[in-house]
Structure 1
Amino acid sequence: MYAEKALIRVHRDLKVHTCFYPNPHTAATIILVNGSLATSVSFNASLKYLTPIFNVVTYDQPYQGQSRVHNRQLPLIGKEDEALILLELIEHFRADHLLAFSWGSVAALLALAQRPARINKAIISSFSPVLNSPMLDYLSNARAALGACDRQAIGNLINDTIGEHLPPLFKRCNFRHVSTLEEFEYAQMLFHIRQVASLDRDRFMGCVGNIDTPLLFINGELDRYTSPDDALRFSRMAPQSEFATIRHTGHFLELEHKTAWQDVKQVVERFVLRDGAMGNEQKMAMVG
């Protein structure tokens, strides 16, 4: 798949490696925000249903993937910094849609709370405002493994928890990627865990209440860590929100099986292609 690659200077003189997948048949552009420890490669499955509709932008955070080599003297980067990076990239690429996955959604929602004029609609997948018991256990174990820089423990933890429904091939790829990262990336992940664990939910939800962009929240039916029921807590604060649950699917949604990929494709297309604003209506859908 053809991509135009570029290195862009953003917030605090950081350098971000980007890929722009052009679609000559549309002026609409969507920017994708990946989760912690992931790079833009994690969106390969999403590209297959997004590129027929949009120009698509992916990028690696300054401490990840193809951006890392260009930011050797790098301080720890918080979610607020990631939100500012995202806002600059939205302007640079003139993006009018956004899709964020898992913890990338924290930065995405903080950015959307600034009401960027260009963004028409946003999709938030595998995220909730609730740190439930399974998530708290995951965070506690992750803190211990990351603090000890125990590569095998880190790889196994992700596959045994949020990745529990991934097929074996993806689990092997996941383990290989996560267990071979640089120590600085583990330190960055540990910093994010501490940020998320100490997140003031009332303050964060108040921030979400400032978002005037129509939002679609997508969660897997089997996801014990960011469950559909917990995601529904957003309905009280995000007035232009709707929710979709993907049946027989966990945290990694379209990566888990072909039917999940088709179901995510369906709900995303229905949301982004529908004309008109949603107003204050909140809808819940079960797909699959």
Structure 2
Amino acid sequence: MYAEKSVVRVHRDLKVHTTLYPNSRTSETIILVNGSLATSASFSKSARYLQPLFNVVLFDQPYQGLSRQHNPGMAMIDKQDEALILLDLIELFRADHLLSFSWGSVATLLALARRPARIRSAVVSSFSPTLNTAMQGYLDRAQHCLGECDRRAIGELINETIGEHLPSLFKRCNFRHVSSLEAFEYAQMLMHVRQVRDLDSAQYMSCVSHIDVPLLFVNGAWDRYAPPEDARQFAGLAPQSEFAAIAHTGHFLELEHKTALQEVRSAVEGFLLRGRVGVCDRRLAMAG
């Protein structure tokens, strides 16, 4: 796919590397928000099926991936900073939709709670408001490995826990990526782990109660760390919420096998395109 790459200035004068996959047949744009320890490259499959429908924007946080080199000596940022960065990107790219994965959903929900006027809908994948026993155990081990800057242990941890259902090729790629990050990135992730543990479910619920756009929560049926039944706790506070459980799939959803990719694609496209029809209907009614 043709890509337009640029480095933009955002919150706190930080620089973010962005990749835009343009679509001349639509004016609608979707921004993808990756999870912790991941870069925008993790959204390759998502971008491929979304680009025929939208202008697709990927980005790396200032401390990671292709953005890291543009922010030497930067101070660490928290999830509120990431939410403000996302709000800046929404304005810069005139985005209409968001799609987030895993802990990238924290910044996404915080941003949506500020009710950005442009956003019309959002997809939140592999995330729940509850830190269940499995997730608490994962965070315990992650906090120790990150604090020790034990690269091998961090890489093995990802594959043994949230990556347990990934095919072997993806596990090898995961290990190479996660075990080769800079010490600053591990310190940044350690800060995020501590912040996430300090945010209880009541705070997530309060955040979601301020969101006024349709939300789709997508979770893998086999995900022990963010299971569908936990995500459904959002239902009472987000009246415009929908839920999709992807069968025979864990935390990494469409990366795990082809059937999962097809089911995630069907759920996401159906949700986003239904919103598009509604917008068109309202515009026609106003014109009439």
Is TM-score (shorter-chain normalized) higher than 0.5? yes
**Percentage of matched positions with identical amino acids:** 69
SS, match of residue 73 in structure 2: coil
What is the alpha-carbon distance in structure 1 between the residues aligned to residue 118 and residue 66 of structure 2? 27
Q: Which residue of 1 aligns with 2:18?
A: 18
Which residues of 2 match residues 115-134 of structure 1 at below 5 A?
115-134=115-134
Deviation at 1:156, TM superposition (A): 0.3
RMSD, aligned CA: 0.8
Paired AA for residue 39 in structure 2 = T
What is the alpha-carbon distance in structure 1 between the residues aligned to residue 87 and residue 47 of structure 2? 21
Deviation beyond 2 Å, 4+ runs, structure 1: none
Which residues of 2 match residues 159-170 of structure 1 at below 5 A?
159-170=159-170
Q: Which residue of 2 aligns with 1:276?
A: 278
Q: Which residue of 1 aligns with 2:285?
A: none
SS, match of residue 236 in structure 1: coil
What is the alpha-carbon distance in structure 1 between the residues aligned to residue 241 and residue 180 of structure 2? 38
Deviation at 1:49, TM superposition (A): 0.8
Paired AA for residue 248 in structure 1 = H
Unaligned runs of 5+ residues in structure 1 are: 278-288
Paired AA for residue 45 in structure 2 = A
What is the alpha-carbon distance in structure 2 between the residues aligned to residue 35 and residue 131 of structure 1? 16
Deviation at 1:198, TM superposition (A): 0.8
Which residues of 2 match residues 104-253 of structure 1 at below 5 A?
104-253=104-253
Which residues of 2 match residues 42-57 of structure 1 at below 5 A?
42-57=42-57
Deviation at 1:203, TM superposition (A): 2.4
Deviation at 1:2, TM superposition (A): 1.2
Is residue 3 from structure 1 mapped to residue 12 from structure 2 by the alignment? no
What is the alpha-carbon distance in structure 1 between the residues aligned to residue 68 and residue 75 of structure 2? 12
Deviation at 1:48, TM superposition (A): 1.5
Paired AA for residue 267 in structure 1 = A
What is the alpha-carbon distance in structure 1 between the residues aligned to residue 226 and residue 75 of structure 2? 29
SS, match of residue 7 in structure 1: strand
Deviation at 1:120, TM superposition (A): 0.7
SS, match of residue 218 in structure 1: strand
Paired AA for residue 147 in structure 2 = G
TM-score, normalization: structure 1? 0.95
Paired AA for residue 73 in structure 1 = G
Deviation at 1:236, TM superposition (A): 1.5
What is the alpha-carbon distance in structure 2 between the residues aligned to residue 144 and residue 135 of structure 1? 14
Deviation at 1:207, TM superposition (A): 1.5
Q: Which residue of 2 aligns with 1:283?
A: none
What is the alpha-carbon distance in structure 2 between the residues aligned to residue 196 and residue 75 of structure 1? 19
Deviation at 1:37, TM superposition (A): 0.4
More helix by share: 2
Deviation at 1:76, TM superposition (A): 1.0
Deviation at 1:121, TM superposition (A): 0.7
Paired AA for residue 223 in structure 2 = D
Q: Answer with 266-275 or 244-253: which moved more.
A: 266-275
- For 1:158-213, what per-residue CA distance to the aligned partner results, in whole angstroms no more than 9, with x for missing partners? 00000000000000000000000000000000000000011032122111100001
SS, match of residue 62 in structure 1: coil
- For 1:73-97, what per-residue CA distance to the aligned partner results, in whole angstroms no more than 9, with x for missing partners? 1111100000000000000000001
Paired AA for residue 84 in structure 1 = L
